[in-house]
Amino acid sequence: MVLKPRTRIGMLVVIGTWFLTGCWDRHELNAIAIVVGMGIDKVGNEFRVSVQIVNPREVSSKGRGGGGSLAPAVTFEETGATLPEAMRRMTVLSPRRLNFSHLRIIVFGEDVARMGIRKPLDYISRDSEMRNDFYLVVAEGASASEVLKTYSAMDPIPSNNLNTKLAISDDLWAGTGKITLNQLLVDMATQGKSAMMTGIRVTGNRKVGETMENNRRIVPEANLVYSGSAVFKEDRMIGWIDEAETKAVNYVQDSVKRTLGIVSCPDGGKISLSVVQSKSNIRIRMNRDTPIINVYLRVEQDVSDVECNMDMSQMSTIDWINLQGERKIGDIIDKAISRVKGQLGVDIFGFGVEVHRQQPKAWHRIKDWNEVFRHAQVNVYPHVITRRIGTILQSVEHQTKGRG
Amino acid sequence: MNHVQDTADEALSYQLKDNLHRIKQDSGNSSDIKCREVHIEISGAASVKGIVAYTDGLSDSQALLNSLMNGPFLFEADSGHSSSLLIYLKDHVITESGVTEIESITTLFDHLLSGDSILLLEGSNSALAIGTKNLKARQVEEPNVQAVVRGPREGFTEVLSWNTAMVRRKIKDRRLWIEKKTIGTVTKTEVAIAYIDGIVAKEILAEVRQRLELIEIDGVLESNYIEEHIQEKRFALFPTVFNSERPDVVAAQLLEGRIAIMVDGTPFVLIVPAVFTQFFQSSEDYYQASVFSSLIRLLRILAFILALVTPSFYIAVTTFHQELLPTTLLYNLASQREGVPFPAFVEALMMEVTFEILREASVRMPRTIGQSISIVGTLVIGQAAVEAGLVTAAMVIVVSITAIANFVMPAFNLGITVRIIRFLLMALAASFGLFGLFLGLIVIVVRLCSLHSFGVPYMSPLAPFRISDQKDTLFRLPLPMMKKRPVTIPKENNIRQRDR
């Protein structure tokens, strides 16, 4: 068979490529260790990195382990002067090549958070294998490695458990607030806003939490719980805010999807109100060099339960509930703002960003926004609308008392 | 380049003895060539000696002999006695419909060997070829390969004349023209070109005639002999000639301005020009509701893509791009791969090759053993290999879906193409990941776009895009909406339905 010169060269090139690739980035599934969680602590001058790896044999539906004889995940720890060094040194521990593409969560120890997270963040955002859809959290009163060593209930992989737990509570409770890498980097770089990171605590008996025993109980001995948020000034953590304050931040930042609040009735009972939609609008006016910040909130809510004797058929009752809801929300936000202003002295609400946008001239005269924020006047104007009151009209309390 | 030296074409002799000797000698005394001596009785004159030669099994000469021996005939002898007797017999005695006068040895053999009986008379240098063909052939049956749920059940047979008759029965119009020619210097196979005059484009017809003219081969045993000679490229991966064993398909294609090439001895009729999308269409598309047919066509395209890329995509994603998998799926696949000794590519190659072996075996096997093959296939490969930990269950699923998707395509020859390309893509995916896979796909698309079939771009009406032909490409719109014939195939007359 005689080939044209062009065809001959073409074939040579194609065949050549096969020998030249070396398949450098080819890794079979049973040759990689899927890293799902990463913890960063500081030990002396060095970083201590913990890496949580899935043991796929124990996780899949067709697990051959016979009811969990092996741990579903393995956590390795290694120290290094820099993060990459610790990672490479990890190869002496891990039997397989670490693969970071399915990282679910990164935990910072409180120590490292207080000392500044700029250095580890560089590696995390520079590495090509890591995506940026994982969450970043700070371990409250614990080291990151302790968090990654704790067994989790239901979802056998702790990091997965943490990931879904955070996503769901952010969606339904708004008292947590999930932070991804991009958001954190933007917040840290923005002058008019300080960064926040979700906090995580290990509750209960940590010793039992590190054994499989924890998963054999109906009530786990130890658990990983999200609580409040860590507040950062630039890259250093300066303090904690609690759940209600986190929720206030979410209200102002327009990141409340759904949540629940309680107001008191005149007769001492309580009404639960579930927020189904919330929209915030921040307007800035300048009084000379002091900004006046007006936060307008439009909240839609459903009545979840009525534990007091009220005539729910009256429009006036609904109006009263709306008013109580507005007061409650205003109260939460006012309290949070005054505590953040007074004790932490940083703007985690992002008011500075709005000043920059709406009053650019005034913004350029401001040297230290946090200082200005401390004296700024913040007014909150919530507007609450009740949409649905559920499947019954009158409360059970009203029905039974009214007849008796 | 004749492989067998044809004896020089000679005229017949006046001597019956010489002619008989010639027939015997040229056919090497073949036992199936029978020569029956007859005496034609003439009233008032001496009888004339003659010979009826025929091929045993191909012709039925009983009626001919009956009528020849029905003398004495009222023939007035004159000068040139025998030659005019021959004319007399042809005009007044022989009842068969096809009678030809022949004068040379070559023509004599052409007729004799295709089933005609030859009547030779003493003292005449011409003979008569009488159409006494009696073919013993397979009856019209339901097509095996291109079966349908709804639609005509008849398929072509091995006899060309029956096949042309079946098409003629569908198109009863004098504009259906059938040209016959003989190809094959030894086999002398009859090949018919069928087209509808007034619809077919003259230049394509001329091209078909010319390409057939250029064929110089000793034998044509199946239409593929013709196909490989007239297709565009020697090493064609993608078929540029369509084939069908269904008269309704041929009729429909003729109505769209295509040309059918029918070969004696095979039920598979070639249809040109062929375009890529044609291979995704089945005659049944037009016998079922249009919505259903459109969905089925989309399904076929999906199956084509699945059959082409599933194994290579699986290899690329699991060995190069683990980040593309959903996390839970990754755990699942990773847990299956625990303890599997081969890389994903070798695993896939093993399974694919095993499947190809099974398929080939089941085609060649007698029907009765076929069942045991499928049991071995499912048990050994499906279950035992997974349980032995040699392959992952996911790979078995991948190979199975590929195999089943391969059978969805209505055109068998495109299925073969897909099978070949699949292995190339697997090799590319195993060495370069998705980058290689997509590079391979781009090459395929470029190749497809550069192909032509008898002057028609292979990818039309998709590239070049023809909006009016989209009615019957990926979707099949209701028939009343198809007022024009597709413009993809050049033709003289485009109107299918007249507006009212």
Q: What is the tens place of the pLDDT at every residue in B419-458?
A: 999 999 999 999 889 999 999 999 999 999 999 999 999 9
CB A66 within 8 A of CB A210: no
Report pLDDT for A117.
92
A156-181, pLDDT tens digit by residue? 889 999 999 999 999 998 888 889 99
Side chain identity, residue A232: F
Question: From the list A29, A104, A160, which residue is nearest B334 (CB)?
Answer: A29
Question: From the list B335, B337, B431, which residue is nearest A23 (CB)?
Answer: B431
B189-233, pLDDT tens digit by residue? 999 999 999 999 999 999 999 999 999 999 999 999 999 999 988
Residue with tokens 């703002």: A337
Q: What number of helices (H) and strands (E) belong to chain A?
A: 16, 13
Q: Where are the beta strands (DSSP E) in A81-210?
A: 97-99, 105-108, 135-139, 196-204
pLDDT for residue A65 is more than 80: no
From CA A139, how far away is CA A41, in angstroms rounded?
A: 10
- β-bridge pairing A105-108 and A32-43: parallel
Q: Which of B150, B497, B414 is nearest to B292 (CA)?
A: B150
Question: From the list B322, B337, B431, which residue is nearest A18 (CB)?
Answer: B431
CA B83 to chain centre: 44
pLDDT for residue B129 is more than 60: yes
Which residues from B are below 8 Å from A when comparing CB atoms?
318-320, 322-323, 327, 330-340, 343-344, 427, 430-433
Cis amide bond preceding B457, omega within 30: no
Side chain identity, residue A321: I
B360-400, pLDDT tens digit by residue? 888 877 777 777 777 777 777 778 888 888 889 999 999 99
Per CB-CB distance under 8 Å, the chain B contacts of A36 are: 327
Q: How many CB atoms lie within 10 A of CB A116?
A: 15
Name the closest residue on chain A to residue B326, using Cα atoms.
Answer: A102
Q: What is the ipTM of this complex?
A: 0.83
pLDDT for residue B6 is more than 60: no
**Confidence class of residue B97 from pLDDT cuts 50, 70 and 90?**
confident
Stretch A80-94: mean pLDDT, rounded?
92
A254-404 fold: GMP Synthetase; Chain A, domain 3 (3.30.300)
A247-273, pLDDT tens digit by residue? 999 999 999 999 999 999 888 889 999
Q: Which of A312, A313, A279, A311 is nearest to A296 (CA)?
A: A279
From CA A220, how far away is CA A130, in angstroms rounded?
A: 32
Q: What is the DSSP string of A200-220?
A: EEEEE-HHHHTSTHHHHSSS-
pLDDT for residue B2 is more than 60: no
Stretch B7-15: mean pLDDT, rounded?
77
Ordered by start, the domain boundaries in chain A are: 29-59+68-241, 254-404
Report pLDDT for A80.
93
Q: List all residues 6 or more positions away from A55 whose beta carbon is below 8 Å from its beta carbon.
A: A70, A71, A72, A73, A74
When scoring B318, B328, B335, B336 by the number of chain A Cβ atoms within 10 A, the one with the most, hence best to mutate, is: B335
Report pLDDT for B4.
46
Stretch B252-275: mean pLDDT, rounded?
94
When scoring B234, B331, B395, B442 by the number of chain A Cβ atoms within 10 A, the one with the most, hence best to mutate, is: B331
The pLDDT mean for chain A works out to 89
pLDDT for residue A26 is more than 80: yes
Report pLDDT for A33.
92
From CA B116, how far away is CA B53, in angstroms rounded?
A: 9
Q: List all residues 6 or more positions away from A221 whose beta carbon is below 8 Å from its beta carbon.
A: A204, A205, A208, A209, A213, A214
From CA B1, how far away is CA A29, in angstroms rounded?
A: 60
From CA A142, how far away is CA A341, in angstroms rounded?
A: 27
pLDDT for residue B5 is more than 50: no
Side chain identity, residue A3: L
Please write down the long-range contacts of B173-177, taking CB distance under 8 Å and 24 or more positions apart: B175/B199, B176/B254
Report pLDDT for B13.
86
For residue A346, CA distances in Å to A188, A198, A340 come to 12, 17, 7
Q: Which of B189, B361, B196, B337 is nearest to B263 (CA)?
A: B189
Cis amide bond preceding B267, omega within 30: no
pLDDT for residue A22 is more than 70: no
Q: What number of helices (H) and strands (E) belong to chain B?
A: 15, 12
When scoring A21, A24, A29 by the number of chain B Cβ atoms within 10 A, the one with the most, hence best to mutate, is: A29
Across the interface, do A28 and B337 touch by the CB < 8 Å criterion? yes
Question: From the list A28, A101, A102, which residue is nearest B344 (CB)?
Answer: A28
Nearest-Å Rg of the Cα atoms of chain A is 27
CB environment B452-486: b (16+ within 10 A), e (fewer): ebbebbbbbbbeeeeeebebbbeebeeeeebeebb
Across the interface, do A30 and B330 touch by the CB < 8 Å criterion? no
Helix (H, G, I), strand (E, B) or coil at A276: strand
Residue with tokens 């741990």: A71
When scoring A26, A104, A132 by the number of chain B Cβ atoms within 10 A, the one with the most, hence best to mutate, is: A26
Cis amide bond preceding B464, omega within 30: yes
Q: Where are the beta strands (DSSP E) in A181-333?
A: 196-204, 222-233, 236-241, 259-264, 270-287, 290-306
Side chain identity, residue B228: E
Report pLDDT for B271.
96
CB A64 within 8 A of CB B386: no
**Confidence class of residue A2 from pLDDT cuts 50, 70 and 90?**
low
Per CB-CB distance under 8 Å, the chain B contacts of A60 are: 331-332, 334-336
Across the interface, do B327 and A102 touch by the CB < 8 Å criterion? yes
Show the tokens assigned to B143: 């097509």
A269-324, pLDDT tens digit by residue? 899 999 999 999 999 999 888 899 999 999 999 999 999 888 899 999 999 999 99
CB environment B50-74: b (16+ within 10 A), e (fewer): bbbbbbeebbebeebeebbeebebe
Report pLDDT for B423.
94
Per CB-CB distance under 8 Å, the chain A contacts of B319 are: 26-29
- Report percent pLDDT > 90 for chain A: 62
Across the interface, do A63 and B335 touch by the CB < 8 Å criterion? yes
